[in-house]
Amino acid sequence: MNEAVIVDVVRTPSGRGKPGGALSAVHPVDLGAGVLRALLERNGLESGQIDDVLFGCVSQVGEQSMNIARQVTLAADFDEAVPATTIDRQCGSSQQAVHFAAQGVIAGAYDIVIAGGVESMSRVPLGSSGRGALNANGIRRRYPEGLVNQGVSAELIAERWDLSREALDAYAAQSHARAARAAEAGAFDPQLIPVDTPDGLVFRDETIRAGTTAESLAGLAPAFRDDALAERFPGLDWRITAGSSSPLTDGASAALIMSAARAEQLGVTPRARFRGFAVVGDDPLMMLTAPIPATRRVLERTGLTIDDLDAYEVNEAFASVPLAWAAELGADPARLNPWGGAIALGHALGSSGTRLLGTLLTHLEATGGRFGLQTMCEGGGMANATVIERI
């Protein structure tokens, strides 16, 4: 069996996913092309050496349609012989791309592969791909009261795990504080690549708000309550706000993955190896709880415990998600998103999986940690979990 290793991970800065955001003038194909070119340049490779490009993207319409992965490789001036495909596992799309890439290496189908993702939420707004599938007769028969959006699911999680408004706001403020400290210390620099925009180069994450406090967040109104939902869920204490949610974000990221044998042949030094993978489904109404069983499954497969892990990146789609995960797993809060998470660093849907991977890997290297876990809640009630080991 081949061993799959991570050679490099890069990402763009996170731009606010709205008109006027730092990256909003950049076409998503060009965002993705930038990270591909950076991987080749940083590692002395030619594009023709790449066996495949697997790219995550959620809203595959408009500027993100037509198999955006293929358009990204062409825009990056890759050899036309390099194939590419686009993956949608909702928020975990690029994490799933990493799984497929590494599993392809392990199986012997690939020697060198790039996995990544892109999302421009300013140019292709959230929901652009529609919700028509939920109107299928089979879905309405199975869930006659209807499924809900992720914000409502985040509320249901907060209710089930008894997470107070104060706890959610405090966690969100902590995410910004941790990310701001990490950015100030240059912790993200090894993975960041600048993006050329009409207004000049963008070097830094636009989504981090260093001055955020729990007190300032306390004044925000709940973001997802309406009269119909309040009637459907009587007694629900609505507490999720824009401040305890990840912001709409533009960004791209990518990982260079090889077989250990090919890395040795090329004289390339791997940074980490893959120790385990899991993907699970869960209740689509609660929707965002699947990281809990996904983590349990990947720990069982690797023979590790939560205490063996030096850091865990649990995507902060909403503050209630990592807080419920930590409560259920008995996780150490200090190891949970230690450089901040998506509440501060943004959640460019298709890109977030490899963004988390890069943050996790860079943190392990900076702190001397050995094992790291990343897991991501996904639309429809799914989650991926990955364990890596720093080399």
SS (H, E, C) the chain: CCCEEEEEEEECCCEECCCCCCCCCCCHHHHHHHHHHHHHHHHCCCHHHCCEEEEECCCCCHHHCCCHHHHHHHHCCCCCCCCEEEECECECHHHHHHHHHHHHHHHCCCCEEEEEEEEECCCCCCCCCCCHHHHCHHHHHHCCCCCCCHHHHHHHHHHHCCCCHHHHHHHHHHHHHHHHHHHHCCCCCCCECCEEECCEEECCCCCCCCCCCHHHHCCCCCCCCCHHHHHHCCCCCCCCCHHHECCEEEEEEEEEEEEHHHHHHHCCCCCEEEEEEEEEECCCCCCCCCHHHHHHHHHHHHCCCHHHCCEEEECCCECHHHHHHHHHHCCCHHHECCCCCHHHHCECHHHHHHHHHHHHHHHHHHHCCCEEEEEEEECCCEEEEEEEEEC
Q: Give residues with Cβ within 8 angstroms of 148, minimum separation 6.
A: 156, 229, 285, 287
Cα separation, 384 vs 375, whole angstroms = 6
pLDDT tens, 201-250? 999 999 999 999 999 999 999 999 999 999 999 999 999 999 999 999 99
The pair of three-digit structure tokens given for residue 91, joined into one six-digit string = 């928020």
* pLDDT score recorded for residue 1: 85
Helix axes 320-329, 165-184, angle to 10 degrees: 100
Q: Which residues are catalytic?
A: 91, 347, 377
- Is the CB of residue 275 less than 8 Å from the CB of residue 302? yes
CA separation, residue 363 to residues 18, 150, 261, 373 (Å): 29, 29, 26, 12
| Whether pTM exceeds 0.85 | yes
- Average pLDDT value for residue range 371-381: 98
- Average pLDDT value for residue range 131-136: 87
Angle value at C-alpha 154, between 152 and 155, nearest 5 degrees: 65
* pLDDT score recorded for residue 61: 97
**pLDDT over 80 at 141, yes or no:** yes
Cα separation, 298 vs 312, whole angstroms = 13
Which sign, positive or negative, has the C-alpha torsion 292, 294, 295, 301? positive
pLDDT tens, 291-313? 999 999 999 999 999 999 999 99
* pLDDT score recorded for residue 283: 97
Phi, psi of 302 (to 5 degrees): -90, -15
* pLDDT score recorded for residue 353: 98
- Is the CB of residue 390 less than 8 Å from the CB of residue 379? no
CA separation, residue 186 to residues 77, 179, 313, 366 (Å): 30, 11, 19, 11
CA 388 to chain centre: 16
Cα separation, 120 vs 251, whole angstroms = 6
**pLDDT over 90 at 273, yes or no:** yes
* pLDDT score recorded for residue 132: 86
- Average pLDDT value for residue range 377-384: 98
Mean pLDDT of the chain: 97
* pLDDT score recorded for residue 130: 80
Bridge partners for 56 per DSSP: 87, 117
**pLDDT over 90 at 66, yes or no:** yes
* pLDDT score recorded for residue 47: 98
pLDDT tens, 72-89? 999 999 999 999 999 999
Cα separation, 311 vs 361, whole angstroms = 9
